[in-house]
Structure 1
Amino acid sequence: MNRYHVVAALLLSAAAVSLSTGGALAQQSGDMKGMPGMHMAAEPAPAGSAASKLGDLVISGGYVRAMLPGQPVGGGYITIHNGGKVADKLTSVTSSAAGKVELHEMKMDGEIMKMREIKDGIAIPAGATVTLAPNTMHMMFKQVKAPFKKGGAVPVMLMFEKAGMIDLNLPVTSANGN
């Protein structure tokens, strides 16, 4: 991906990234180009992606990507619209398919794309839509019990500060997002 595409993707995702809280961020990785399965292009959610409603929150476009052989982590994506008058926050995600699920963001540090954990959760302002997508904020599945395979599903529990929790099964798409 050339520099123009990276800059364009970052500009488009700037609003979503700015919604994350600014607490301490731990650097998780350096140059993302060499990490298998970590594609930098954002694309629309695939057909058949997970969707649900929890109070004023409409959750849609949920999916994970299949993991390539030897890939130690998996990525998950979702869109959350807060139709209410009160802000909320996605505080955590858990899954029986992984020992740990972290909320992450990717952003440029000079000319290097870096990934950092968002430790304080992701704000969902009243009336706003926040999208976790490739090349921006996303769910990072660690200590995966079995690699995610296309056609399967990954169970997740999303925990929100005000709305509570919701269980979803996220379909697994191909490793390249198709």
Structure 2
Amino acid sequence: MSPKSTLLVALAAATLALPAMAQEIHILDTYARSASPAAKTGAAFMLIENIGDADDRLIGANSPVAQIAQIHTHREEGGVMKMIHVEDGLPVPAGETLFLERGGSHIMFMGLTESFEQGKTVPLTLVFEKSGEITLDIPVDLTRKSAEGHGHGHSHGTGN
């Protein structure tokens, strides 16, 4: 291979690798729960840390254990807190952490196809606007009351 061809191949490889290197999303402190083993809904909670220098956005979720997995949050409407689907996703600004926690934004599983049992794991794929898909195995913890690493009870970095 000529030096020019080698340079072109190296440049193409570096250019193709840039999107993967430009975004750094870390998922921490994950857990999932449902109200009971017979429940048809459940939720997943976690910290989504963007250690990169570019903003990103959580735009979707899917899991084989539910007919539907969506990003949800709670909003006050007419003096009543209601859970709503966040259709446009949640921002994950560069250098910040998005808290998905009970009473706030979370991943909602609807139409569970299997029960959430203590000690099991739940497969979940999070979809990000820039970082693409990140697949996780979320541990089921039916006894946990709140997030262990940030028990302050409010969300950060959600833009809501």
Measured in 1, the distance between the counterparts of 2:142 and 2:82 equals: 23
CA contact (8 A) 1:66 1:150 kept: no
For 1:44, the equivalent position in structure 2 comes to none
2:85 paired residue among 110, 117, 120: 117
Q: Rg: which structure is higher?
A: 2
Measured in 2, the distance between the counterparts of 1:76 and 1:174 equals: 11
Written as runs of structure 1 = structure 2, the 5 A alignment for 1:70-109 is 70-109=38-77
CA contact (8 A) 2:125 2:134 kept: yes
RMSD value over aligned CA atoms? 1.9
TM score, norm. by length of structure 2: 0.72
The alignment partner of 2:140 has SS state of: strand
Query: CA 1:115/1:88 → structure 2, altered by over 3 Å: closer, same or farther?
Result: same
Match for 1:137: what amino acid?
A: S
Q: Is 1:145 aligned with 2:135?
A: no
Measured in 1, the distance between the counterparts of 2:144 and 2:93 equals: 31
2:133 paired residue among 157, 165, 170: 165
Measured in 1, the distance between the counterparts of 2:66 and 2:33 equals: 14
Match for 1:131: what amino acid?
A: F
**Structure 1 residue 177, shift from structure 2 partner:** 3.4
Question: How many aligned residue pairs are there?
Answer: 125
**Gaps in structure 1 of 5+ consecutive residues:** 1-53
**Structure 1 residue 143, shift from structure 2 partner:** 1.2
Measured in 1, the distance between the counterparts of 2:35 and 2:143 equals: 6
Of 84-93 and 102-111, the range deviating more from structure 2 = 102-111
Moved over 4 A (4+): none
CA contact (8 A) 1:154 1:169 kept: yes
Query: CA 1:69/1:57 → structure 2, altered by over 3 Å: closer, same or farther?
Result: closer
The alignment partner of 2:95 has SS state of: coil
**Structure 1 residue 108, shift from structure 2 partner:** 2.4
TM score, norm. by length of structure 1: 0.65
Measured in 1, the distance between the counterparts of 2:143 and 2:23 equals: 32
For 1:39, the equivalent position in structure 2 comes to none
Measured in 2, the distance between the counterparts of 1:64 and 1:75 equals: 6
**Structure 1 residue 71, shift from structure 2 partner:** 2.4
**Structure 1 residue 110, shift from structure 2 partner:** 3.9
**Structure 1 residue 146, shift from structure 2 partner:** 1.2
**Gaps in structure 2 of 5+ consecutive residues:** 1-21, 147-160
